Amino acid sequence: LLPKDVPELMHAATQRARLWRKDAIPVMLEFEHQDIRNYKGPEVRFSFYSPSEGTGFSLTVKTNSVRTHVFDQAVRWGEASLPPVFVDLPSAVRIARNKGMKGPLKRANLRIWSPGDAPPVLAWMMSTGASTGGGRTVDGASGQIIDYDVTGYIAAYNAQWERAARGLRALFQSARGGSSRDDGSPFGRGSSSSSSSTSSEPHDENAWKKDYQRSVAEDRAYWGGNSNDYNRIKNGECSWSDSSNYGC
């Protein structure tokens, strides 16, 4: 069961959000299919941002209820307003299935993404949870399949792992008894075969452990949670529940 006429639904939600703040703009739209004991069904959550205050407002629509929530603290949902017209969710799912997406849709997220190496793009990012063919990204304006990472998460994740790898190499060099640095660091410069960038950089083991722990938590939240969980962890705002669920 997929909600349809989502652009019209967002228009109505925006009118409600502007009772909260006159400058409220829709910045994110999320669909999730709940499958919990004693409850099963879809929900759509609209997230709004007040540019003048930096705070947020959400409106969640279920099959039998509407719920609102005010976020009095600063939110980091993005500041780019969704356009009033975009590819409807059922159409985006149909396009994704025609391009190989398999399994029932579990979650979808529409926002204006800002990948580091490409222009901002309005896109539906969808996931079914299937081991293969379980996700696709559809341009929210043109309906075309997007075959690159719109989130920038993969590039950031790879960079984190490269930092972790450098830390591991430094630890291995130290364990092998590399010569100590003149500045008193316990980590050696490494053998002549090591790259200069690896051998000359000081190593902070605690920082490396924190980087590694956060990268693992981000990975768990990305694949097993939702975009709000991921964004909190990525921005260093790990909550108590995030710590329990993802180990950040």
The pLDDT, as a whole number, for residue 186 is 35
| The two three-digit tokens of residue 145, written as one number | 């399949």
Residue 34 has pLDDT above 90, yes or no: no
The pLDDT, as a whole number, for residue 206 is 65
Nearest to 45 by CA among 31, 64, 34: 31
Q: Report d(CA 80, CA 114) in Å as an integer.
A: 10
Query: In this predicted model, what pLDDT tens digit does every residue of 220-242 receive, in sequence order?
Result: 777 667 777 777 887 777 877 77
DSSP 33-73: EEEETTEEEEEEEEEEE-TTT--EEEEEEESS-EEEEEE-S
Is 213 exposed, middle or buried, given 0-12, 13-18 or 19+ CB atoms closer than 10 A? middle
Q: Report d(CA 193, CA 188) in Å as an integer.
A: 13
| The two three-digit tokens of residue 77, written as one number | 């949902």
Query: In this predicted model, what pLDDT tens digit does every residue of 191-202 receive, in sequence order?
Result: 434 444 444 445
Across the chain, mean pLDDT equals: 81
Helix (H, G, I), strand (E, B) or coil at 25: strand
Under the banding of pLDDT at 50, 70 and 90, the label for residue 187 is: very low
User: Do 215 and 198 meet the contact criterion of CB atoms below 8 Å apart?
Assistant: no
60: number of Cβ within 10 Å: 17
Residue 139 has pLDDT above 90, yes or no: yes
Provide the 8-state DSSP code for 75.
Answer: -
Residue 189 has pLDDT above 50, yes or no: no
E strand intervals along the chain: 25-36, 39-49, 56-62, 66-71, 107-113, 121-127, 135-139, 145-146
Q: Report d(CA 189, CA 127) in Å as an integer.
A: 45
Torsion sign, CA atoms 55, 113, 144, 108: negative
Domain boundaries in the chain? 6-146, 153-246
Q: What is the mean pLDDT of residues 16-35?
A: 94
Under the banding of pLDDT at 50, 70 and 90, the label for residue 40 is: low
Nearest to 139 by CA among 105, 115, 106: 115
Residue 246 has pLDDT above 80, yes or no: no
Name every residue whose Cβ is closer than 8 Å to that of residue 81 and which is 6 or more positions away in sequence. Answer: 25, 26, 27
Residue 60 has pLDDT above 90, yes or no: yes
